[in-house]
């Protein structure tokens, strides 16, 4: 362990480029939460998908950077976990609550979303990748990737009906999060990063157009 007198300052880690990406993703998440509460769902979806993009970018950058110490990697990993529970647990929960008019029935679903995210992340922190290559359960970043797509269809229903649809879809997603299914690690593959970039730009363009029309 690093001696107390030689420990770096907390804020020194904010200058690390991968950590800056993580914090940029957190900023997108805070914007998404704000717009969910305001009911401006198009803006919220843009924030949610960009949070995923920054999340994937920080890992890609970290793996290619030279000179990072073990403490740098450990700190970045802990930062990622803390931000992930906000981005992929709390934010979808607030999205569900907002569509449900913040009623008690939707509060149950919101709790389950945050609770399963905490369980999922704790399990991964304890056991890591199954066989070193696959996740046990659906990785949490898929929550936002799927939800921003599902919300595209909200205009085909009245708000109350879509709230129920979103509730059901969210419960299916969180069941997959804590299931024993094995899913590939998508974020480490450069080809998948390109696919996510195209998806992020496409989703942003669609929801951006909706904002301009409103």
Distance CA 167, CA 55 (A): 25
| Apex 117 CA angle, 201 and 204, nearest 5 | 10
pLDDT at 18 > cutoff 90: no
182: phi then psi, degrees, rounded to nearest 5: -105, 125
Band of residue 3 on the pLDDT scale cut at 50, 70, 90: low
Residue 2: pLDDT above 60? no
Residue 5 lies in a domain: no
Is there a domain that residue 38 lies in?
Answer: yes
Task: Please write the tens of the pLDDT for every residue from 93-121.
Answer: 999 999 999 999 999 999 999 999 999 99
Q: Measuring CA to CA, how many Å separate 17 from each of 55, 62, 190?
A: 12, 8, 18
Domain count, the chain: 1
Res 77 pLDDT > 90: no
pLDDT of residue 24: 95
Does residue 11 lie within any of the structural domains?
no
Query: Is the C-alpha dihedral spanning 213, 195, 30, 172 positive or negative?
Result: positive
Whether 57 contacts 19, CB under 8 Å: no
Within a domain: 145: yes
Domain-embedded: residue 1: no
Percent share of the chain, pLDDT over 90:
70
CATH number reported for the structural domain that contains residue 81 in this entry: 1.20.120
The residue written with tokens 């009906």 in the block is 161
Q: Is residue 127 part of a domain?
A: yes
Task: Judge whether 9 lies within some domain.
Answer: no
Q: Number of H helices and number of E strands within the chain? A: 8, 2
Domain range for residue 207?
Answer: 16-213
How many other C-beta atoms are found inside a 10 Å radius of the C-beta of residue 116?
21
Residues in contact with 34: Cβ distance below 8 Å, sequence separation at least 6, in sequence order: 44
Q: What are phi and psi of 184, to 5 degrees?
A: -70, 155
Q: Is residue 7 part of a domain?
A: no
């Amino acid at each position: 362990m690093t001696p107390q007198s030689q420990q770096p300052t907390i804020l020194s880690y904010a200058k690390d480029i991968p950590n800056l990406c993580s914090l940029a993703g957190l900023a997108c998440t805070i914007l998404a939460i704000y717009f969910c509460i305001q009911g401006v769902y198009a803006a919220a979806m843009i924030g949610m998908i960009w949070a995923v993009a920054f999340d994937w970018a920080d890992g890609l950058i970290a793996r290619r950077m030279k000179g990072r110490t073990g403490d740098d990697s450990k700190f970045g990993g802990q930062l990622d976990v803390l931000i992930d529970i906000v981005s992929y647990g709390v934010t979808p929960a607030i999205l569900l609550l907002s569509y449900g008019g913040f009623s008690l029935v939707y509060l149950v679903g919101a709790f389950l979303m945050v609770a399963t995210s905490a369980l999922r992340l704790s399990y991964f922190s304890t056991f890591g990748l199954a066989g070193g290559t696959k996740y046990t359960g659906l990785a949490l970043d898929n929550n936002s990737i799927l939800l921003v797509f599902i919300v595209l269809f909200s205009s085909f229903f009245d708000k109350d009906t879509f709230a129920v649809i979103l509730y059901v879809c969210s419960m299916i997603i969180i069941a997959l999060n804590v299931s024993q299914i094995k899913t590939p690690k998508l974020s480490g593959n450069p080809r998948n990063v390109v696919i996510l970039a195209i998806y992020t730009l496409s989703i942003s363009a669609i929801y951006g157009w909706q904002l301009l029309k409103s």
